[in-house]
Each structure stands twice: as structure tokens, then as C-alpha cells.
Structure 1
Amino acid sequence: MTTSSAYTADLVAAQVQAFLTERTKRTWEPDTDLFAAGGVSSMFAMELVVHLESEFDIVISGPDLALDNFRTVKSMAELVVRLREAEQ
């Protein structure tokens, strides 16, 4: 789990990119549609949910589970920052 209490979009994006690179053996631009590029599947999206929840101590549920929140590194970073800010 990331221990910093200040989650910036850049910090989250860097961590998500590292996770994706490790899992897919590819590097991803922050705005690349991971699903359209064939980089990840809808099954892998669930792994992303679990990873983001455990890494950033958030709960992703309801409308936040929309696939659009997981299409890009940027959208995942924005989701994490928004959910972290909502908890404060």
C-alpha cells in the first residue's frame, strides 16, 4: 500500500503505470485506451479494481465501477484522487 497521505494524480498515475508495466510487460501512455489497444481485458479490469482498492485504501463501488474509469492510466488516477478526497 502506498503510505503517503497526499495522493496526487501524478503519484497515482506513476504507480498505476508501474503496475500495468509489470503485469502486461508494456509501457502505457497516460491517455492510451487500454481496452481499445488490446492491452487489458474486462477480466483484468477487476484485477485493476482490487489493486487500486488495496494500494490506495479506497472502495470502488456503484457507478464508480464504470469501465470508463479504468480505460486509461489518467482516468484511474483521477478516480483514486477523487475517492481519496471524498473520504477526507
Structure 2
Amino acid sequence: MSTTEQVHSPEEIRANLAEFVEQQTKSAVATDLDLFGSGLVSSLFALQLVVHVETAFGVAVQGADLKLDNFRTIDAITDLVVRLRA
């Protein structure tokens, strides 16, 4: 079964993203923490986030959606995924 066939609620998406970020940063992260403003992650990590979002949730992040504000917090990424899957 591909990821695009699986149903992910916003809560499941948020939990998946939090787990991914915490594994990568080795830090507990609040879902509203500014990942980049806090200095916790780098611009290279932004690319890893995009790849994770696309593969984990079966979406394509392109064009106007590739802006930093969509990846600034776990909550913002969750909103992006929900919107792209609608």
C-alpha cells in the first residue's frame, strides 16, 4: 500500500512530523516552535523536510508552496500537507 492510499488525520500528520524533527534534531520540539528562527535547524534541513513531507504523505510541494513560512513550524507543515491532500 502506498502512502497516498493511507488516510492521515491532521493529528497523525503532526505526530509524524514531530517525530521526524525530533529524531533529526535530537531535541523535543513544540509544534508551534519556529524551527528556523530558533536556530534548531538549517536550510539543508529544509530540503530534508520537503523530501520527508513528499514521501511520507504522497504530496508534491512545488512553486509557491516551497516557501519557508510553510515549513517554519510543525503546525505550518501540517496545514500545508492537509491543504495539498484536499
**Unpaired segments of 5 or more residues in structure 1?**
none
User: 1:28-43 residue pairs with structure 2 within 5 A?
Assistant: 28-43=29-44
TM-score (norm 2): 0.91
Contact 1:7–1:84 (CA under 8 A) maintained in structure 2:
no
TM-score (norm 1): 0.89
Aligned residues: 85
Residue-by-residue CA offset, 1:7-64 (whole Å, 9 max, x unaligned): 2221111000000111100011111000011111111101100010000000000000
Instruction: State the partner residue of 1:57.
Output: 58
C-alpha RMSD of the superposition: 1.5
User: 1:8-87 residue pairs with structure 2 within 5 A?
Assistant: 8-85=9-86
